[in-house]
Structures are given as structure tokens and as C-alpha cells.
Amino acid sequence: MASAVAQDSPGAPPGAPKKPGSRRKGTGLSPRRLPYLLIAPAVLLMAGFIAYPMLSVFYYSLQNYNATKPWRNGFAGLDNFKRIFTDDPLFWDSLVFSGKWVFTEVTLQLALGLILALLVNQTFVGRAAARALVFSPWAVSGVLTTTIWLLLYNPSTGVGRYLADAGIGTYGSSVLSDTGTVFWAAVLAELWRGVPFFAILILADLQSIPGDLYEAASVDGASRFRQFFHITLPHLRDAIILSTLLRAVWEFNNVDLLLTLTEGGPAGVTTTLPLYVAVTGFEAHDFGYATALTTVAFGILLFCSILYLRLSKFGGDHK
Amino acid sequence: MTAVLTEKGAPPVPADGSRKPPSVRRKRRERAFDEVPRWQIYLPLGLYLLFTLVPFYWMVLFSLRPAGSTSLVPWPMTFDHFEKVWNERSFSVFFQNSALIGVFTLICTTGVALAGGYALARFNFRIKQGFMLALLCSQFIPGALMLVPLFQIFKNLSLINSPLSVVIAETVFQLPLSIILISGFIKNVPYSLEEAAWVDGCSRLQAFRIVVLPMLRPGLIAVGSFAFVHSWNHFLFALMFLMDQDKQTIPVGLSTLIGADSVDFGALAAGGVISAVPVVIVFAFIQKWLITGFSAGAVKG
């Protein structure tokens, strides 16, 4: 760690025959200034296209800014926020659905990803091929997931038809237009794509557990279940906490799949908060209100993230 | 957590270098793992493989069998759907646009992240902690919520309807993770190697190019492929920032096929296969580096 830091040693070797000082000073490449120069492009890009838009979100959220009603544009104070909390059932519906969606997806993806990682961490014939195949949906886009699962779900030529041929279920049932089944249909499609993410991360971490630990445990007569709960799980703890949090944000943010698979329907039952924001901003052209929604969503996300890190005692001395 | 696996599946050497002579211990440990009955591996894995592969097969099947067929094997085989999607539904144009945006995103992301990652790995400077914190925090900002303000910014810059807007947006949201990843990889290159090169008369840049860069290859491949795959797959930025049909990308093209009044499943499946091909190739290529890349410190910083 300490060795990787260029403290105050000059960038040029002491005995170098070339004129070390002059050129570096001339071009601003002194070791003092160099790190700032190196991070400058990243800082500028992130300031311009992440930080500035964030600030403008807060600004617009206090404005009436609606492209279809330009005569009303102007300072609105907290009106947008008042409307969100007191007069917008769609906000609450989409918030509840977002919570349900994120919780279901992250829990199931973690459970399946953990099992999958443990499986492909064993030594067996065909392991490399098995890994490549089970991880492959990781690289698939949301829209492609929709494409594939539409082909599977459609009532006329999908899997349902063949299942009905075999006597399971009924003909012509469309899981995506039934409010009772659409949630689980979407969950299954997203699971298909999302499980490899956890499996890859957990597998990477599994490989860093020293094998000696298991050896010692099995010499002491610990069963494989006990080994899992006393060695594997504690070791994976931090990785699991961080990856579930990242995944939760990612799933909250996941507009691609739901927008194309269900369009938030039927009857709005699969509208998440970001989907609602996008529709408000780009279809209703109500930018002011959309940014107020964004602000609220961001606040909720931040609050939940901090709460989760606190409650899970991330980084605590548990080892 | 700096263990980088050089060979696939090889256990990492403990950091303290206390690795015992392999023969005896290795054998006993492998026997311990072997106690897992084979069926307990193959049965659940087989079931999961079915869940993974049937959807892929379904798409390939639909793309190759003639319209109206209900056969479960793609025979007789036809390429009509591909021809239709590629020419009539202008997937040839979408494909080029996506490839162009993907390659530029790859170049910008890797270049900027390489500079930033090097600074983080090799220097102590005053705003380092703050910069790290900003990188981590930006992971929690949902891109979908930034669409509205980003649209405003690109409108002010007259970049709406230009592929540049998509490249910038993709790059910016790829940057934080890429910088963290690359700095992890650079930390794994011994600093003494670079110092040795300086003693031999190299400038910092030369030493970086000759010593560090070749050793970063796995890391750069991982980060570059992430950037490419991500931009190839991403849907919202292109959908929102590009207006003209002939500027659109593959995911947007696919979504128009999905949204058509009467969905042509053969064409949709063929479009899906076309959109999957480059990603599958990249994935097959980077698969073995993927786990290594994450081990090197993606998540753990």
C-alpha cells in the first residue's frame, strides 16, 4: 500500500543523464501537479454531466416548468413537493411498486446467485463451459431480455401454448396482460438476466477464501453446512452487503426492461418511480414536476442506502 | 483484496506468502471438496442451465423457422427474417450506429479512466479522498433520474440528435467504476518496476508505456469491454437524445419492433439475435477475465 505512493520523490531519477528538471517544469508535468492534471478530464466530465445536472434538478424542482403550459412557468416554491405528497396517488403507487420490485429482485437474485457461485466453484468435469453458459445472460440488454421473454410469454406461439398442448395451463393465457401474473412474469425475466451478476461477484470473492480454513474445519469434523455458515458466509459478508446495495440501486433505476416489457401496465400496476418520472418528463412534458419527483426519489434512495449500510454494520470487525 | 488470478481456477496465493509446499496439502484439500456427491452438483446446475438456455434457444428457433411454423426445431431453416430485419427494418444502420457509439465510448472511457486510475494508484494528493468519495457516491445516482436535466444540457449544447451526446452520457456514467477498477489493476503492478525504468532513463510517460501498460492488458480489456457492452446495451440515452430514425441504435430499433401493432415474432427474434451477436463474442472473449477483474478490487475499492 505505502509502496504504491510517490511521496515527494522527484519524477526523474537522480542519476539520469537527461535534463530532468527543465522539461517537466516547463510542461507542468511536475509530480506536484501531475495527479491533478490526470484526474482533470474525469473531474470535468463528472462535474459537467453528473454534478451540474444534479444541482439543476434541485433548481427546477422549485419551478413550474411545463412545455405545454408555458404561460405558467416560473418560481413555484414548494408547490411541486406539496402536490407529490398530498395530491398524487400515482407517486405512492409507483413508490410502493418500486420497493416491492427492488426487494423481490435483489433477494431472489442474491439467493440464486449464491447457490450458483457455490456450485460452479466446485471442481467438476465441464466447469469452464458451465461457467460461461450460466453467466452469459449477464451481457444481455434489458430490451433484448424483453424480446426473448416476449417470445416465450406470447399466448399464440409462446411456451404457454406448448405447455397447454401437454395439458398444463390453458390456451391463450397471456401472463403479461393479467394484473395477477404480470409482476411475477417480469420478475422471472429480470431474474434470468440478473442472477449472473451476483454469481460472478460472489465467485470472485469465494476464490479468495484460503482453502486451509475448510481443511481445518473438516479435520475438526464440521459438516459442510457448518463450514458454509461459519467460514464462507462471514467471509462473503462485505461483498454481499455492497453488491446488494449496488444492485438495489441498479434495479430501482432499471427502466429498460419494464418500459419495453409491460410499459408500466397493465393498468399501471408495474410502473416504478423512475418510469413514472420519465413519463412525466417526456410524455407529459412537465419538467418541473418531473424534477421534483426526481429529487424525492433521490432523497429516498440516499436515505435507504445509508440506513442499509448502518443496519448491516458494513465494514465492521466481524472476522 | 488484491489477489489476481493468473490461471483460471488456481487458488490465490495468501498475501503473506505463507504458501505451503503444494503436494500433500493440495491433495487432501481436493479430496475434501470431492466429498460433494456429483449429483448434488450436476442436478441443480443442469436445472439452472435449462432456465438459462431455453430462452436463448427459443429466440434462435423463432429467428430461423419460417413464419407460421410451430416446429420445435428450426427445420426447414430460413434466413428470411434476418434479411427483412437487416434491410427493411434498417438494422444495418442501427448496427453501424451502435458499433460507432460503442467504440467511441470504449475509447473515451478507457482513456479518461486510465489517467484517473493512475493518479489514484500512484499519488497522494490533497483532494484524493474527496475524489474517491465522489466516485463511490456517483455509483448511487440513478441514470434514469438524470434524463430530464441531461436532456436540457444537451439541448443547450445543441447536441440533441447527435451521437456525441450519447457517447458523453455513456462515458460519464461508466467512468466511476472504470476508474476504481483500473486503479486496482495499477496498484497490482509493483511500483519498483516503474522506478527501475526511471533509473534506466525513462521518463514517467515512457515508463508507463513500456512497463505498466503491457501488464494492464487484462484490466484494460475488462474495463473496455464493460464500456462497450454497456453502451451497446443501453437504451434510454439513445431513445431520449436521438430523434432521427437513421441515428438510432440497436436497442431502440428492437423496441420499435416490440411496439409494432402486430408483432412479427420472426423479425423480432432475428433482430434479437443480431443484437446479441457482438455481445456474445465480447463475452466469450472476456469471460475468463471477468472474475479476475472483480477480484482485483471492483467492489471492494
Residue in chain B closest to A286 (alpha carbons) equals B148
Can you give the pTM of this predicted structure? 0.81
Q: Hey, is B96 helix, strand or coil?
A: helix
Per-residue model confidence (pLDDT) at position B119: 92
Q: Which has more confidence, A236 or A319?
A: A236
Interface residue B9 vs chain A (CB under 8 A):
yes
- Over residues A70-106, the pLDDT tens digits come to 777 778 778 889 888 888 888 999 999 999 999 999 9
Q: What is the pLDDT of residue A29?
A: 60
Distance, CA of A15 to CA of B287 (rounded, Å): 45
pLDDT at B39 over 60: yes
How many CB pairs below 8 Å do chains A and B form together? 321
Does the beta-carbon distance from B294 to A43 stay under 8 Å? Answer: no
- What residue in B sits closest to A41 (Cα-Cα)? B112
In order of start, what are the domains of chain A with their CATH numbers?
89-311 (1.10.3720.10)
Quick one: pLDDT band at residue A311, thresholds 50, 70, 90? confident
Q: Do A53 and B146 touch (CB under 8 A)?
A: yes
pLDDT in tens, B5-16: 333 444 444 444
By the CB < 8 Å criterion, does B291 face chain A? yes
Q: What is the pLDDT of residues A99-141, one digit of tens each?
A: 999 999 999 999 999 999 999 988 888 888 888 888 889 888 8
Quote the CA–CA distance of A250 and B8 in Å, as a whole number: 29
Chain B positions in Cβ-Cβ contact with residue A35 (cut-off 8 Å): 119, 122-123, 125, 128
**B51, B176, B279 ranked by CB distance to A192: nearest:** B51
Q: Which residue has the higher pLDDT, B164 or B204?
A: B164
Contact assessment for residue B106 and residue B228, using Cβ atoms and an 8 Å cutoff: yes
Give B41 to chain A, closest Cα distance, Å: 6
Question: How far apart, in whole angstroms, are the C-alpha atoms of residue A19 and residue B195?
Answer: 17
Between B128 and B297, the higher pLDDT residue: B128
Contact with chain A for residue B112, Cβ under 8 A: yes
- pLDDT of A316 reads 63
| Rounded Cα gap, residues A182 and A177, in angstroms | 7
pLDDT tens-digit series, residues A150-177: 989 888 778 877 887 877 777 777 788 8
Stretch B137-164: mean pLDDT: 85
Q: Domains for chain B: give ranges and CATH numbers.
A: 80-298 (1.10.3720.10)
SS3 B131: helix
Q: How confident is the model at residue A21 (pLDDT cuts 50, 70, 90)?
A: very low
* Phi, psi of B217, rounded to the nearest 5 degrees: -50, -50
Quote the minimal CA–CA distance from A260 to chain B in Å: 7
Query: What totals of helices (H) and strands (E) does chain B contain, helices first?
Result: 14, 0
Residues 6+ apart with CB under 8 A from A288: A60, A61, A63, A64, A65, A66, A73, A76, A80
pLDDT of residue B14: 44
Q: Which residue of A lies nearest to B127 if distances are taken between CA atoms?
A: A36
DSSP symbol at B143: G
Name the A residues in 174-193 with CB < 8 Å from any B CB: 192
Tell me the per-residue pLDDT of A210-237, one tens digit each, with 9 for 90 and over: 888 888 888 888 888 888 888 888 888 8
Instruction: Say what the pLDDT of residue B261 is.
Output: 67
Question: For the segment B58-98, what is each residue's pLDDT rounded down to a tens digit?
Answer: 999 999 988 877 788 888 888 988 999 898 888 999 999 99
